[in-house]
């Protein structure tokens, strides 16, 4: 499966996404049912409140993503323990833009 991952822009300076790439490559955690996984894009939400996430998801779908994945920094708050307060609206906007044919995965690790 080809995926595009959206991460929190505010955690970029604390996390290089190493675990996201590792679990995708090994087909573990959120990717255990969809392995093998190829990451076609790894982008930020564009900053609060995440208004650019929808257009960035479309861009990754156009480049072959079969699923859009939210990095755990957005949905679970890793590594700072603070999930994104805009997550639900961001997710809804992405579903609206890419349609229901693209799978949405809510976390990575």
Question: What integer pLDDT is reported at residue 73 of this predicted model?
Answer: 95
Question: What integer pLDDT is reported at residue 45 of this predicted model?
Answer: 96
* Contact (CB, 8 A) for 15 and 76: no
For the chain, the domains span 2-105
Burial 35-54 (b: 16+ CB within 10 A, else e): eebebbbbbbbbeeebebbb
pTM: 0.95
Please report, rounded to a whole number, the percentage of residues in the chain having pLDDT higher than 90.
Answer: 86
Residue-wise pLDDT tens digits, 24-40: 999 999 999 988 899 99
Question: What integer pLDDT is reported at residue 13 of this predicted model?
Answer: 87
Which numeric CATH code is attached to 2-105?
A: 3.40.50
């Amino acid at each position: 499966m080809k995926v595009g991952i959206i991460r929190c822009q505010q955690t970029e300076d604390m996390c290089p996404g190493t675990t996201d790439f590792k679990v995708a490559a090994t087909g573990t955690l959120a990717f255990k049912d969809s392995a093998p996984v190829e990451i076609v894009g790894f982008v930020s939400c564009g900053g609060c409140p995440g208004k650019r996430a929808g257009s960035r998801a479309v861009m990754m779908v156009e480049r072959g993503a079969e699923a859009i994945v939210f990095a755990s920094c957005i949905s679970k708050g890793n590594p700072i323990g603070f999930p994104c307060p805009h997550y639900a609206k961001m997710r809804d906007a992405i579903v609206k833009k890419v349609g229901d044919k693209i799978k949405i995965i809510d976390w990575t690790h």
